[in-house]
Structure 1
Amino acid sequence: METPASPPPSSKPGKSNDEARGPRFREIPLRLMVPNLITVLAICAGLTGIRLAFEGRYELAVAMVLLAAFLDGIDGRVARLLKATSSFGVQMDSLADIINFGVAPALVSYAFLLDQAHSMGWIACLLYAIAAGLRLARFNVMAERQVKAPWQSEFFVGVPAPMGAMLVLLPVYLGFLGVAPSPVFVYASVAYTLLIGYLLVSRLPVWSGKAGRIRRDLMLPVLLVAVLYVALLMSYTWEVLSVTVVAYLCILPFSARAWHRRYGTITIEDESANV
């Protein structure tokens, strides 16, 4: 009876056959790929929104940008839920943020309206995209700190980039509602884009809602209001988005006032001196 052939000896003395073949790739659990897949889909949605905007399909373009913002907002939560957080995912999410919250909304706004302001419109888009990148860099630096300021669980420094993407598209929403692209509206939109870019990089305390609490007896009414909002958003998309943006901008002064009442003795400049 023939015996099975013995494996060939290692090419180098003192080393096993596995070591001789070279390094082996470590297997990765499938659950670790889910958050990264969501991030990739968010990037695809943001870039597709840019393409649709330059093809003149503006409503679909805005929908894709908002979808990208939604996917980018849930990938971190999915990662924590699946216990699949990783340094690779954090870096990839940061790169996706600059596309979805900075580049995509700026280019959609430019293709729809701001190009009529020529160089001024392009400069406004550039400044907004750069402001979004600076805002995200500052957020990442502050998030990596081991010791956090007491207010950081309740307030952002400046308007968060995802909300900035939603805010900067307000002229586009109004255009969908029939506002004519007159020179006054176009140049007012340029100034508005610059304003949103400034709010992103400002030191304005913005309530985050992370530490908010809801009384148990108010839970069902709040759920009903949320369902009503989603239903109205599906039926009257551009009207609801316009009202949401205006309401958010009106809340910002009250957010800053609430911060000063609670943490007025601490300055954000001191807490973020190294940012």
Structure 2
Amino acid sequence: MAFKKHIPNIITLCNLAAGLVALVYAFDTHYQMAFVWVCIGIFFDFWDGFFARILKAQSPIGLQLDSLADMVTSGVVPGLIMFQMLVGIEDMREEYNLAADNFYLGLLPYVGFIITLASCYRLAKFNVDARQTDSFIGLPTPANALFILSLPMILAHSDTDSWLFAFLSNPYVLIGISLLSAFMLNAEIPLFSLKVKYFNWETNKIQIVFLVISVLLLFFLQYLAIPVIILFYVALSAITNKLSAKTAA
């Protein structure tokens, strides 16, 4: 019985461990493996709270551990990925004989770490914000991490002469995405929670519909589906909020 209360924390630490492995791959610019390990970390993050409720093992230390693990997996890793993408753009342009850009000033790639800073602030705010017990205010860090990590995967699977390749290989676009990411993480935008509390249709119907559509998008669009899913998540949350407001009125 004493061990039972540690199970959710062990799951959370598995999230952290996956994030650390993702960091190793990110340092070596092995983006696909970094993406895989972040997904594994987010999987553990999805279930730690659920098991804490089921086992009645919720605790203040569990809340702090969850944020600390997310800070690595969904905060440090995406910031490093954006940094590496900005650093690698000049080499990529030379490889494909694309026009050089005079953007590279040495310090510019560090703009990518604004994602990490914004994630840190978002996680700290989440722990003290009573409004975010059953929903989110601002884009959750795991969703943002998946969005950022999808970018090098989309780039790698795009034709070098396509508009998408040109778009994502533009350093100014990546900097704009970094700034947008920082804004969305901390924006006062109510979003529904993706975490399952209880297994029943009435409580989780929005989440179930979202997950089904997301799986279909992933099947047809693969990596390109991830930013589409994030946009769909924000749009569906806005629609749900409006419907709830009309019902309450």
Same fold per superposition (TM over 0.5): yes
**Alpha-carbon distance change, 257 to 197 in structure 1, aligned in 2, over 3 angstroms:** farther
SS of corresponding position for 1:156: strand
Query: What residue number does 2:140 align with?
Result: 160
- The 5-angstrom pairing of residues 18-167 of structure 1 reads 29-111=2-84, 113-115=85-87, 116=89, 118-123=106-111, 125-143=112-130, 155-167=135-147
Superposed displacement of residue 43, structure 1: 0.8
Superposed displacement of residue 62, structure 1: 0.8
Q: Distance in 2 between matches of 1:223 and 1:200?
A: 23
Q: Distance in 2 between matches of 1:236 and 1:80?
A: 35
Q: Distance in 2 between matches of 1:263 and 1:122?
A: 46
**AA partner of residue 238 (structure 1):** Y
**Alpha-carbon distance change, 63 to 89 in structure 1, aligned in 2, over 3 angstroms:** same
**AA partner of residue 206 (structure 1):** L
Contact 2:5 2:57 in 1 (8 A): yes
Q: TM-score, normalised by structure 1?
A: 0.66
Q: TM-score, normalised by structure 2?
A: 0.72
Superposed displacement of residue 260, structure 1: 6.6
Any runs of at least 4 consecutive aligned residues in structure 1 with deviations exceeding 6 A, and if so which? 222-225
**Alpha-carbon distance change, 181 to 119 in structure 1, aligned in 2, over 3 angstroms:** farther
Q: Distance in 1 between matches of 2:6 and 2:127?
A: 22
Superposed displacement of residue 188, structure 1: 0.4
Aligned length: 224
More helix by share: 2
**Alpha-carbon distance change, 260 to 170 in structure 1, aligned in 2, over 3 angstroms:** farther
SS of corresponding position for 1:169: helix
Superposed displacement of residue 141, structure 1: 0.5
**Alpha-carbon distance change, 225 to 101 in structure 1, aligned in 2, over 3 angstroms:** closer
Query: What residue number does 1:172 align with?
Result: 152
The answer to whether residue 175 in structure 2 is matched with residue 187 in structure 1 is no
**Alpha-carbon distance change, 191 to 229 in structure 1, aligned in 2, over 3 angstroms:** closer
Percentage identity across paired residues of the two chains:
28
**AA partner of residue 139 (structure 1):** F
Superposed displacement of residue 207, structure 1: 3.5
Superposed displacement of residue 75, structure 1: 0.9
Q: Deviations over 1:26-68 (max 9, x none)?
A: xx81212221211111111111111112223210111111211
Contact 1:170 1:245 in 2 (8 A): no
Note the residue ranges of structure 1 that are not aligned, 5 or more in a row. 1-27, 144-148, 265-275
Note the residue ranges of structure 2 that are not aligned, 5 or more in a row. 90-103, 159-163
**Alpha-carbon distance change, 202 to 261 in structure 1, aligned in 2, over 3 angstroms:** farther
Query: What residue number does 2:225 align with?
Result: 240
The structure with higher relative contact order (CA 8 Å, sep 6+) is: 2
SS of corresponding position for 1:94: helix
Contact 2:8 2:49 in 1 (8 A): yes
Contact 2:167 2:173 in 1 (8 A): no
- The 5-angstrom pairing of residues 220-235 of structure 1 reads 230=215, 233=218
Q: Distance in 2 between matches of 1:261 and 1:228?
A: 25
- Aligned-residue CA RMSD in angstroms? 3.7
SS of corresponding position for 1:180: helix
**Alpha-carbon distance change, 263 to 208 in structure 1, aligned in 2, over 3 angstroms:** farther
Q: Distance in 2 between matches of 1:253 and 1:226?
A: 17
Pick aligned residue for 2:192 from 207, 217, 224 = 207
Q: Distance in 1 between matches of 2:227 and 2:189?
A: 22
